[in-house]
Amino acid sequence: MAISPYEVLSKYYQKIIYDNEYDKWTDYLLTVVKEKSPSVSGVDIGCGTGIFTRKLKKAGFDVSGVDISQPMLTVAETISRKERIKIDYIKGDMRNIALFKKVGFITVVNDGINYVEQKDLKKTFNSFSKCLQKGGLLVFDLSTQYKLQFVLGNNMYGDDSEDLSYLWLSEYDSVENKVDISISFFEKQGETYKRYNEYQTQYAHDIGFIETALIDSGFEILSVTNPYGQDILSKEERILFVAVKK
Ligand SMILES: C[S@@+](CC[C@H](N)C(=O)[O-])C[C@H]1O[C@@H](n2cnc3c(N)ncnc32)[C@H](O)[C@@H]1O
């Protein structure tokens, strides 16, 4: 049974994706927002199940979450309700976001920009620019070409537990510079397992291309570093961009 991206993964996302490393580099990301945002109001775009959105809220920010996937937003809402954290979650496409009020910061955390095709990057940054007040902060990370090609690319991993088994296959396409991911879930239902196949694509982006698209969309780039604010090494898997709207 083929389903749309994150329809089944949303249920298991936090278990599969979330680890100590995530906590560490998003801690750094949070300090960047604390230091550089001109106001407490912001939007976490591509918020998914809201892991970073809740972290921002707990740190005192007035933040809402936007994501294109309703199943991810439903998980985010359920967790927020359970933890009694009030956050508005809105379904939206980062390539064309419209907000009622301009905000002081935008974050896009954990590969959100890797889901945007190169042809849509400028449009996406333009839509961010329209949502930000003057001097507003944009912070996002990006999985590198190295990670997509040599770490994820043409690789397979998975897990096998009583309630769920999954197989994650990634195929790198060097012509289009993207990785096509196919995840097969085997979910226990009574005495049998039901199989679901989910597909998604992540795009590798050239740093120079991103920088030009940001500048053309009215941003000044403050830094391009590794996820901890340090120099980028040749086998870096993640890069952090910090920019402000001019
Ligand atoms: C890897 S998840 C990251 C989720 C979350 N930010 C986190 O840190 O765990 C990427 C998210 O980007 C969302 N996404 C992909 N394309 C999008 C788009 N065009 N507009 C808004 N969200 C998008 C996906 O639905 C998914 O929830």
As a whole number, mean pLDDT of residues 104-121 equals: 98
Best residue for ligand 1 mutational test, from 9, 55, 67 (most atoms within 8 Å of Cβ): 67
64 in the same domain as 120: yes
Lookup: tokens for 244: 């402000």
41 in the same domain as 56: yes
Q: Which atom of ligand 1 is nearest to the CA of 6?
A: 25
Residues contacting 80, CB < 8 A, separation 6+: 50, 54, 86, 87, 89
135 in the same domain as 171: no
pLDDT tens figures, 179-221: 999 999 999 999 999 999 999 999 999 999 999 999 999 999 9
Residue of the CA atom closest to atom 6 of ligand 1:
47
> From ligand 1's centre to the CA of 190, what distance in Å?
32
> From ligand 1's centre to the CA of 108, what distance in Å?
8
Where a domain ends, among 185, 202, 219? Answer: 202
> From ligand 1's centre to the CA of 5, what distance in Å?
10
> From ligand 1's centre to the CA of 133, what distance in Å?
23
228 in the same domain as 113: yes
As a whole number, mean pLDDT of residues 56-80 equals: 97
92 in the same domain as 176: no
Residue of the CA atom closest to atom 26 of ligand 1:
48
184 in the same domain as 83: no
As a whole number, mean pLDDT of residues 129-150 equals: 97
155 in the same domain as 117: no
* Percentage above 70 pLDDT, the chain: 99
Where a domain ends, among 183, 202, 221? Answer: 202
Q: Which atom of ligand 1 is nearest to the CA of 44?
A: 6
120 in the same domain as 38: yes
62 in the same domain as 49: yes
Q: How confident is the model at residue 2 (pLDDT cuts 50, 70, 90)?
A: low
186 in the same domain as 65: no
Read off the pTM: 0.96
The CA distance from 115 to 181, in Å, is 12
pLDDT for 7 equals 86
Burial class (CB in 10 A: 0-12, 13-18, 19+), 206: exposed
As a whole number, mean pLDDT of residues 59-71 equals: 97
Best residue for ligand 1 mutational test, from 22, 72, 80 (most atoms within 8 Å of Cβ): 72
Q: How confident is the model at residue 11 (pLDDT cuts 50, 70, 90)?
A: confident
148 vs 164, residue with greater confidence? 148
Lookup: tokens for 236: 């870096």
Say yes or no to pLDDT of 1 above 70: no
In the structure, which protein residues have their CB atom closer than 6 angstroms to any atom of ligand 1?
Answer: 6, 46-48, 51-52, 67-69, 72, 93-95, 109-112, 115
pLDDT for 4 equals 78
Best residue for ligand 1 mutational test, from 24, 93, 111, 183 (most atoms within 8 Å of Cβ): 111
pLDDT for 5 equals 84
Coil vs helix vs strand at 106: strand
The chain-wide mean pLDDT, for the chain, equals 95
Range of the domain at 109: 2-143+206-245
pLDDT for 6 equals 87
pLDDT for 29 equals 98
127 in the same domain as 156: no
CATH of the domain at 182: 2.20.25.110
Q: How confident is the model at residue 143 (pLDDT cuts 50, 70, 90)?
A: very high
Q: What residue spans of 133-194 are helical by DSSP H? A: 145-146
Structural domains of the chain, count = 2
Q: Which atom of ligand 1 is nearest to the CA of 13?
A: 9
CATH of the domain at 44: 3.40.50.150
8 in the same domain as 99: yes
Q: Which atom of ligand 1 is nearest to the CA of 97?
A: 20
Question: Residue 188 carries which side chain, given as an amino acid letter?
Answer: K
